[in-house]
Homo-oligomer: A and B are copies of this chain.
Amino acid sequence: MATMEDVARLAGVSISTVSHVVNETRSVAPGTRERVIAAIEKTGYTGNVIARSLVTGGTKSIGVAMSLLANPHLAQLIHAIEAEATAAGYTVLLGDTLDHADGERAAVRKLQARRVDGMLLTPAPGDTTTLEQLARTNVPAVLVDRVSHKVKLDQVGPENIQSTSTLVSHLAAAGHRRIGFISGVEWMGASEERTLGYRLGLGRAGLRWDSNLVAGGGATHEDGVLALRRLLTVPERPTAVITGNGAMTAGAYREARAHGLEIGKEFAIVGHDEVDWADLVDPGITTMAHPVDEIGRTAVRLLLARLADPDTPPETVLLAPELVHRGSCGCR
């Protein structure tokens, strides 16, 4: 592959001149410039990012460390991230956290060894040390999706409290008085927030909190099945239920059917988290769709902003999910 030296020789100039015309980093006489450009053309010179990185210290690349399996919106998220990064001249390197602390540590290390300029990270559950290490090595990072107020880093994620509250309001407005909640796993801040939102929504609708109406602590399809099954046994059973994530929505939906409940008529289900099949079932599932694209893009923007100016205080951006209205809420 052609190097700057080849170009320089062909154009009859020094290497530094070639560098300067390539980077437009100092003025070069028009004639010279043209000779260099012609030489570049002829040699097919493309530049060596590696060598450049060695001297500049930057790599124009960002690392993305998340669970490549556990995130249901991974493709969409990655797509948004890649697009935004590419637009800014950055390349995305991948690191799989495997959704646990060890994998996360390994992924972050690997990305650091690759000298990424910055990182996007969806922290694994139970992680503590990685974030510290990240801060210590001062590789700029922004947390995606799983936001925590304990951390002094840039963060982006979905807004959970108001949006869940909205879900409650929506159901209450349709006349429901007994609204169940199937919550997510305990250790996640998002779950707590959604539970809080649920409570808040109840209050706004003038309904009483009843711990019998809250089931959960899971994340899988099966968890959703079991949770709804339990909710359906309580006295004065709920006529509507809000689920904490996509998989559990599916489970609950299925279980409701299995109980012979007519979804959208006598029983309402609304979910948190958009799922791609929400439209394919009948009735379709009303959900709070997370602004996945927007989250991805914002994450990259925050990172680039930090790269540009490392000294601004960390920012936390909460993006509001949008209520996507389908049949399962039965509000017509």
A contacts, CB < 8 Å to B: 1, 46-51, 53-54, 59, 61, 68-69, 71, 74-76, 78-79, 82-83, 86, 91-96, 109-115, 137, 221, 250, 253-254, 257, 275-277, 279-282
Residues in B whose Cβ lies below 8 Å from that of A257: 282
Nearest chain-B residue to A115 (Cβ)?
B50
Contacts of A276 in B (CB 8 A): 276-277
In the bound complex, what is the Cα–Cα distance between A76 and B96 (angstroms)? 12
Cβ contact within 8 Å between B78 and A71: no
Q: Copy number in this complex? A: 2
CB distance from A92 to the nearest CB of B (A): 4
Closest Cβ of chain B to A161, distance in Å, is 28
Bound CA span A281–B112, Å: 44
**B68 contacts A96, CB within 8 Å?**
no
Bound: A53/B17 CA distance, A? 25
The reply to whether A75 and B86 contact each other, CB–CB distance below 8 Å, is no
Q: Separation in Å of the A111 CB from the closest CB of chain B?
A: 8
A-B contact pairs, 12 of them (CB 8 A): A46-B109, A48-B113, A49-B115, A68-B75, A68-B82, A69-B75, A74-B74, A79-B96, A91-B93, A91-B110, A94-B94, A277-B281
B residues within 8 A CB of A46?
Answer: 109, 112-113
* Closest Cβ neighbor of A72 among chain B residues: B75
Name, among A53, A71, A111, A257, the residue most crowded by chain B CB atoms within 10 Å (CB to CB).
A53
